[in-house]
Amino acid sequence: MRAWPCPPVPTLDFSSPGLRLYDTATDEIRPTAVGDTARIYVCGITPYDATHMGHAATYVAFDLINRFWRGSGHGVNYVQNVTDIDDPLLERAVANDQDWRQLADGETEAFRDDMFALRVIPPDHYIGAVESIPGIVDSIQQLQRRGLVYEVDDDLYFDLSSEPRFGTVANLSRDVMLELFADRGGDPQRPGKKDPLDPLLWQSARPGEPCWSSEIGNGRPGWHVECTSIAGEFLGQPFDVQGGGSDLTFPHHEMCAALGIAADDVWPFARLYVHSGMVGYLGQKMSKSEGNLVLVRNLRDEGRDPMAVRLALLQHHYRDDWEWHDSDLTEAESRLREWRSAAALGAGPSATQVCEDIRLALSDDLGAPAALAAVDEWVATALRRGGSDPDSPGLLFTTVDALLGVTV
């Protein structure tokens, strides 16, 4: 699939500090021990509705990782999927009386446009589930060769009892797993499953639903194996970071990992599992299914500056759950005005320390709010007292552009 155009990213080349991130699996902030090329998989959208502030916050958080690695001299191989075939997409298409492909294409295009406006660097590989079906079938066949797949009617399930490392991503009790599995697209009640938690790999064709013919039958892929297969094909195992919002920790990332390690007998699936917090609105998680949405597109249509939208996201730590308020944006707009005034000064105080402070803040589990505070302090001093270094505004705002993705 085509991604979106890459915004200009100024080149930096610092070698320390290295990036440390909180890893859900080990409950620790750990170094991202990457080789020359860092490898990251971030779960993409299910394109049945427009980009809301929760999606935007998640993709901006992972963009900070991408930008930090690049700025510190690493190559990055960034893979993101698009779940362009799944139950919620088909249900919405029926509700809209619309062709499912048209819905998916339209919303994917709108997402590209929003990501570009927010200056998110595109993934190197942007891969749809539909275009990956042959690879997904291969992955399922690999599990079959290992004897890890069984049938319920004509549908295929993975036998979790064969994988003792299942559970080591989210570290949840079985009761909690069962509850979340039911809430998040699983089918624990289905008769005939060996374990209620076993994930669906391949769903045989249902009347009126799209399906693809393959050696494992006529049908369509389950959700988790989609990401396992795409990550395996474009990154190999283990890769450095598996990412997404915290609602993907279980079952999605737990199942992805179980399938990946079972298929290849290579552990771990990812070295770190990184999760962003949930953005809420009007008292609950912002979600397409609840309809409590603040859309990037609507803010842009109102004429709000996408750089202010990006700043409104960055003023929250990526791991926190937080509630969107319109004041987030007005606060970000006034910050952006101040930064622009300071950038327009012909000179300012030295920016060496503030650039170091930005790198340090981000290196410590993406401390974007601390990075913004460091810029604010320099800006306040520059506006109040001026300064004699003609290069410092340029130096600072180049770093801000490269690492925070905000242009002034």
Which residues are near Zn ion by CB under 5 A?
A: 43, 227
- Distance in angstroms (rounded) separating the CA atoms of residues 226 and 81: 9
Task: Closer to ligand 5CA by CB, 275 or 359: give it.
Answer: 275
Q: How far is the CB of 43 from Zn ion (least distance, A)?
A: 3
Choose between 227 and 313: whose C-beta lies nearer to Zn ion. 227
Taking the C-alpha atoms of residue 60 and residue 79, their distance in angstroms, rounded to an integer, is 15
Report the residue number, 44 or 387, with the smaller CB distance to ligand 5CA. 44
Is residue 112 near ligand 5CA by the rule CB under 6 A?
Answer: no
Beta bridge partners of 39: 77
Answer for which of 38, 39, 41, 46 binds ligand 5CA (CB under 6 A) is 46
Residue 148's contacts (CB-CB under 8 Å, 6 or more residues apart) are 158, 159, 162, 163, 262
Region 71-100 residues binding ligand 5CA, contact defined as CB under 6 A? 81, 83
Measured from the CB atom, is 41 or 339 closer to Zn ion? Answer: 41
Site string for ligand 5CA, 313-352 (x = CB under 6 A): ----------------------------------------
Which stretch in 141-149, 177-185, 258-266, 275-283 sits in contact with ligand 5CA by CB under 6 A? 275-283
108 binds ligand 5CA (CB under 6 A): no
Choose between 250 and 397: whose C-beta lies nearer to ligand 5CA. Answer: 250
Q: How far is the CB of 23 from ligand 5CA (least distance, A)?
A: 17
- Neighbouring C-alpha atoms within 13 Å toward the C-beta of 256: 29
Size of the site for ligand 5CA (CB under 6 A): 21
Binding segment (CB under 6 A) for ligand 5CA, from list 27-35, 41-49, 151-159, 177-185: 41-49
> Does residue 278 bind ligand 5CA (CB under 6 A)?
yes
Shortest Cβ distance from residue 46 to ligand 5CA (Å)?
A: 4
By C-alpha distance, which of 75, 43, 41 is closest to 269?
41
Question: What number of residues does the chain have?
Answer: 408
Least Å from the CB of residue 337 to Zn ion: 38
Q: Which residues ranging from 195 to 224 are in contact with ligand 5CA (CB under 6 A)?
A: none
Residue 56 touches which of Zn ion, ligand 5CA, none (Cβ within 5-8 Å per kind): none
Q: Is 61 in the site for ligand 5CA (CB under 6 A)?
A: no
Residue from 34, 38, 41, 44 binding ligand 5CA (CB under 6 A): 44
Q: Are 85 and 221 in contact (CB under 8 A)?
A: yes
Tokens standing for residue 142: 């690999």
Q: How far is the CB of 247 from Zn ion (least distance, A)?
A: 11
**From candidates 263, 286, 311, 375, binder to ligand 5CA by CB under 6 A:** 286
List, in order, residues 6 or more apart from 310 with CB less than 8 Å away. Answer: 60, 118, 119, 405, 406
Using rule CB under 6 A, residue 285 touches ligand 5CA: yes
**Which one of Zn ion, ligand 5CA, none interacts with residue 123, CB within 5 to 8 A by kind?**
none
CB 244 within 8 A of CB 275: yes
Closest distance between Zn ion and the C-beta of residue 259, in Å?
12
Whichever of 227 and 371 has its CB closer to Zn ion, that residue is 227
Residue 368 interacts, among ligand 5CA, Zn ion, none and using kind-specific CB cut-offs from 5 to 8 Å, with none
Contacting positions for ligand 5CA (CB under 6 A): 43-46, 54-55, 57-58, 81, 83, 227, 244-245, 247-248, 276, 278-279, 285-287
